[in-house]
Amino acid sequence: MLGLNNKDTKLLIVVAVLTLLAPFILNPFPAGSAMAQFNAGYPDLMQRFVIFGIFAIGFNILFGLTGYLSFGHAAFLGIGSYAAVWIFKLFTYNVVPAIALAVIMAGLFSVIIGYVSLRRSGIYFSILTLAFAQMSFALAYSVLSNPKFNLTNGETGLQVYADDLQMFHREGLPDLPHLFGLSMRSTYNLDIGAWSFSFNAGYYLCAVVLMLVFYLSIRIFRSPFGLMLRAIKSNQTRMSYTGLNPRPHTLAAFVISGMYAGLAGGLMAAMDPLAGAERMQWTASGEVVLMTILGGTGTLIGPVLGAGFIKYFENIFSKINDSILHEWFAFLPDGLENFMVFIVHPFVGKGWHLTLGILFMLVVIFLPGGLVEGGQRIGKWIKNRGKAKDSGATTEPAE
Amino acid sequence: MSKSNFTRRGVLKTGAVAGAGLALPTIFTAQSGHAFTNDPTGGTVTLGFNVPQTGAYADEGADELRAYKLAVEHLNGEGDGGMLNTFTSKELQGNGILGKKVEYVTGDTQTKSDAARASAKSMIEKDGAVMITGGSSSGVAIAVQGLCQEAGVIFMAGLTHSNDTTGKDRKANGFRHFFNGYMSGAALAPVLKNIYGDDRKAYHLTADYTWGWTQQESIAAATEALGWETVNNVLTPLASTDFSSYIAPVLNSGADVLVLNHYGGNMVNSLTNAVQFGLREKVVNGKDFEIVVPLYSRLMAKGAGANVKGIHGSTNWHWSLQDEGSKAFVKSFGTKYGFPPSQAAHTCYVQTLLYADAVTRAGSFAPCAVVEALEGFEFDGLGNGKTLYRAEDHQCFKDVLVVRGKENPTSEFDLLEVVEVTPAAQVTYAPDHAMFGGADASLGECNNGA
């Protein structure tokens, strides 16, 4: 189907089902119950899952295929966001032009940054991209935001004000980002018994975009161009000796993944019309590297899983505070209760980074192929249960 | 290639099944006619406390959270009632808000507008918070205030001192009890003139974001009106921790006063650097070199230690005040936590009470009803004397304290002494003042949300 082989079609269908039914899948617990703490099916977080999934898919096209580790991809995310918010400010709240400009601007910047950074490879490339990203951050955070010339509005973040120009905005359209009149915030709440599910317009826009770019990424992975990128990863020198110039290919991969990041940034601004400089900081660039590695570098679905994993921790675990812990352990005798809270406390709430760090270490040490490898191992174990041990398991490269 | 053959029967069957499937959910849909976002229907009401738990303002955030917890206790009728007993409005009975028990959720703003908005959004969308409060940075407060306006919930600003919060970025759903940069300037300048004279040359170091800019603009305007000269203004990034490279040029600038438009951890570091460079022992232009910190707090004074002695600044509230409200608050805070509250804690506690009171008076949690109840509301007994919530910009007008770092502190908390209480009339300005967005600034319409 759609020029894909059977296996890839299946993967695409799985992704489509997962994203379209996410409001159900992420809200497994009844709304009033104690476990509702772990529900992730509210619009803001679902949007984040998908947007960072897009970001990670794009990053994986560069890192997974060519092996070039960019440490500055968040810069493109930020550029995309600023471009989108400026469209909101100057022209219209319609998200289509905003997202289009976000992708274009990120593409332009990635051509420039890529052209310079790709002169070097390995650690030098990483450092160059990091330097460019930090320059962009500094520009956005302070240089381009002073009372006289305010392009980015610094620490507060660029946002839309009532007295902004908005040339094509007219009465009757929502005062929020919308898709031809359909507000991105409009949510339909479905209550079934004790359960409550929210279907959010913005989320479904992101979900459709995710499916499109996921399909595009499959096509890139399976194309001759994708093969060329893999050749660069396995041995660039040999490739040059055979008379092929790797640079145009790496630059193309860099620009494509930069545009993915810009798309993610544009979508972020479309969901919440504010662009903050922090999303360009090096920690944000590091986050997407973590997502990709955690999920499985070079695999199709891995980055999406990694993005979901990290965002889940960031938003769910970070909100477990001491009073909730006390509720959990209330059944224990007092002394033991306090002891348990004392033990668990450093790992939840603001200590969620610690939990994530430990899990990241475990994954990297025991599952070098990321979560995808974990899934494959479980799948294989289920398949081989009861069968003779001499099946001669061949390790397949992570796909 | 796939071969498809539709039969009439098949199409009808599939159509019927699909139709039934689509219609099914509507059976279960509770037809709830919510008139506004997160209408609390059960026996409880959820408030969202969104404070910095990490970053430069983490100390303030921790103290704010303590105050919020105390306020929730008092609203639910636990503890000694604190300022409920001294508040001039007697609507709150200690039975929650409108008979609903108060519950809360907390979040970490990380002092970043992005993170703060994400945290506030999850409170609104997931936890059903009907009011968001907190923030220890104006950038964050403005970003979250904008979000609350869009989402249709009330925002009760915590510690935010930028003119913009109730100036050019004012919103109908947002309210601020804390004072602002203009008020600091107006209160501080006359005191500075009396002590240091009217021919001083000032050098400004300013935190590079909305609060720093408006604070600097305010204090520079107020001191220049009294004859001072502003030599230079240098912007420093909020994330800086070492200010030596900014302090060194001050020595050669010919300035004899250094104004530190810094707050929290920033101020602690910059003041410490300035003292280490020996600025306070310098004599420039035949006068002793002086340092001024326009926005002061006890937590900062504690962080900077002995360096704050004799340094002037302004503050919203101080625990040593002797009115009934302050005494009641200090007592119940001290009983619970073992030390006196900071000004951040005070303003957050008061904001929670003011919100609860407004809901009770309006008889509804609907944001527009709350806005109406708070606009033009006059009250007393909450530690700042007679106070007005002005309808035009949702800013509180009350007395401002000018304080000085104590030379001989008697305890680790007794670090500041009140030099002067500037009456509210002296710090009041027109709602369309040029520093507050001029005539263009408007609150917009209040938003009840979905």
- For A169-224, the DSSP string reads --TTS-SS-EETTEETT-EEEEEETTEEEEEEHHHHHHHHHHHHHHHHHHHHHHSH
Classify residue B3 by burial, with Cβ atoms within 10 Å: 0-12, 13-18, 19+. exposed
What local confidence, expressed as pLDDT, does residue A331 receive? 86
CA distance B247 to B251: 7
What local confidence, expressed as pLDDT, does residue B179 receive? 95
CA distance B217 to B307: 25
* Domain B44-179+319-392 shares a fold with domain B182-315: yes
Superfamily of domain B182-315, CATH level 4: Response regulator (3.40.50.2300)
> Which residues, in sequence order, are bridge partners of residue B106?
B49
Q: Considering only CB atoms, which chain B residues are within 8 Å of A194?
A: none
**What's the sign of the alpha-carbon dihedral B330, B332, B337, B342?**
negative
Q: Give the list of residues 6+ apart from residue A224 with CB closer than 8 angstroms, or none.
A: none
When the pLDDT of each residue in chain B is averaged and rounded to a whole number, the result is 89
Give the closest residue to A48 by CA, choosing from B124, B121, B413. Answer: B121
User: What 8-state DSSP symbol labels residue B86?
Assistant: T
CA distance B295 to A370: 50
User: Considering the entire predicted model, what is its pTM?
Assistant: 0.87
Mutate to test the interface with A, among B27, B51, B125, B440 (most CBs of A within 10 A): B125
- B290-295 and B312-315 strand pairing: parallel
**What's the sign of the alpha-carbon dihedral B426, B430, B431, B432?**
negative
What local confidence, expressed as pLDDT, does residue B27 receive? 41
Can you tell me whether residue A317 is helix, strand or coil?
Answer: helix
What local confidence, expressed as pLDDT, does residue A84 receive? 96
Name the region of B110 (left: φ>0; alpha: ψ -120 to 50; beta: rest): left
In tens digits, chain A (399 residues) has pLDDT values of 678 899 999 999 999 999 999 999 999 988 877 788 888 989 999 999 999 999 999 999 999 999 999 999 999 999 999 999 999 999 999 999 999 999 999 999 999 999 999 999 899 999 999 999 999 998 998 888 877 788 988 878 888 887 788 888 888 888 889 999 999 988 888 888 888 899 999 999 999 999 999 999 999 999 999 999 999 999 999 999 999 999 999 999 999 999 999 999 999 999 999 898 888 988 899 999 999 999 999 899 999 999 999 999 888 887 887 778 888 888 888 888 888 888 888 888 778 888 889 999 999 899 989 999 999 999 999 998 866 555 444 555 555
Structure tokens at B28: 């279960």
Q: How far is A187 from chain B (nearest CA, A)?
A: 9
Segment B193-207 mean pLDDT: 93
CA distance B138 to B141: 5
What local confidence, expressed as pLDDT, does residue A48 receive? 94
Put simply, the chain B residues between 98 and 117 with a CB less than 8 A from any chain A CB are 105-108, 112-115, 117
pLDDT one-digit tens code per residue, B296-339? 888 888 888 888 999 999 999 999 999 999 999 999 999 999 99
CB pairs under 8 A between A and B: 99
CA distance B264 to B111: 12
Give the closest residue to B141 by CA, choosing from B121, B162, B126, B127. Answer: B162
Of the candidate ranges A277-286, B10-19, B203-212, B250-259, the one whose mean pLDDT is the lowest: B10-19
CA distance B169 to B210: 11
Q: Considering only CB atoms, which chain B residues are within 8 Å of A319?
A: 105-107, 122
Residue of B nearest to A177 (CA): B150
Q: How many residues does chain A have?
A: 399
**Could you state, in order of their start, the residue ranges of all structural domains in chain B?**
44-179+319-392, 182-315
What local confidence, expressed as pLDDT, does residue A206 receive? 96
Can you tell me whether residue A394 is helix, strand or coil?
Answer: coil
ipTM attached to this prediction: 0.85
- What is the b/e burial string over B135-146, where b = at least 16 CB atoms within 10 angstroms of the residue's CB? bbbbbbbbbbbb
Q: Is B283 on the interface with A (CB under 8 A)?
A: no
Q: Do A192 and B112 touch (CB under 8 A)?
A: no
Q: CATH assignment of B44-179+319-392? A: 3.40.50.2300
Task: Decide if pLDDT at B20 tops 60.
Answer: no
pLDDT one-digit tens code per residue, B216-233? 999 999 999 999 999 999
Q: Do B113 and A278 touch (CB under 8 A)?
A: yes
Q: Considering only CB atoms, which chain B residues are within 8 Å of A185?
A: 150-151
What local confidence, expressed as pLDDT, does residue A390 receive? 52
pLDDT one-digit tens code per residue, B354-385? 999 999 999 999 999 999 999 999 999 999 99
What local confidence, expressed as pLDDT, does residue B25 receive? 44
Q: What's the angle, vertex CA B354, arms to CA B353 and CA B355, rounded to 5?
A: 90
Q: How many residues does chain B have?
A: 450
Work out the pLDDT band at B104, boundaries 50, 70, 90: very high
Task: Decide if pLDDT at B180 tops 90.
Answer: yes
Q: Is B28 on the interface with A (CB under 8 A)?
A: yes
What local confidence, expressed as pLDDT, does residue B30 receive? 40
DSSP characters over A253-271? HHHHHHHHHHHHHHHHHHH
How far, CA to CA in Å, does A14 sit from each of A24, A211, A246? Answer: 15, 10, 34
What local confidence, expressed as pLDDT, does residue B29 receive? 40
Segment B141-158 mean pLDDT: 93
